[in-house]
A = this chain, B = another copy of it.
Amino acid sequence: MLTAKGAATRRRIIEGAAAEIRENGIAALTLDDIRARTSTSKSQIFHYFPGGKEDLLLAVAAREADRVIEDQQPHLGDLTTWQAWQDWRNAVVRRYEQQGVHCPLGVLMTELGRSTPAAQALTARLIEQWQAALRAGIAGMQATGEVDRRLDADRTAAALLAAVQGGVTILMSTGRITHLEAALDTSLALLRQSVDGEPNVIG
């Protein structure tokens, strides 16, 4: 079982590990660092994560995956107006601006993505969830005629998601946010353009 105190400790360990990754990356991550930061002991880590490091990392990844979606709310869930899209765009930029150079999720995915099926499933679920929200937003805008109905909503959502992802990746490796902004703005311009044949100014 798990008492309230135990649950709190477990949570503290996950958060501490995530913070550690954000600061130093996963390559430098040791259980001892986590232990020190969270004021716990080795035995606690293994008590709450019997599978050891991998088990803990998976929990961190799950937490971070949730956070990714959370941080885009309430905008992501309500992309019904151009203003909402713009707010969402700004939320994404702001989120990753603050994130810093290490993305716990991205690193975790590339690190244990292929090794553990559980991690792979987590990734797939996040992408699906994110893409579904974008798809719903696009479809809704199409219903009101604000977005060209000839667009394939799902495919466009996939492209938009890829653009964001790529912008973030470049941000992580260069520290510059210009690509993420360009990717978002260009993608949104595509949505805004030529509604049912009517041309529109780009940008």
> In the complex, A198 Cα to B168 Cα: how many Å?
33
- The answer to the question of A19 belonging to the interface, with a C-beta cut-off of 8 Å to chain B, is no
> In the complex, A115 Cα to B25 Cα: how many Å?
10
- The answer to the question of A34 belonging to the interface, with a C-beta cut-off of 8 Å to chain B, is no
> In the complex, A125 Cα to B162 Cα: how many Å?
22
- The answer to the question of A190 belonging to the interface, with a C-beta cut-off of 8 Å to chain B, is yes
* Copies of the polypeptide in the assembly: 2
A172 to chain B, nearest CB (A): 6
B-chain residues with CB within 8 Å of residue A202 when the two chains form the complex: 148, 150-151, 194
Given contacts A151-B202, A186-B190, contact A165 B169 (CB under 8 A): yes
> In the complex, A159 Cα to B127 Cα: how many Å?
20
**Contact call A183/B163, Cβ cutoff below 8 A:** yes
Chain A 137-152: CB-based contact to B (< 8 A → 1; otherwise 0): 0000000000010111
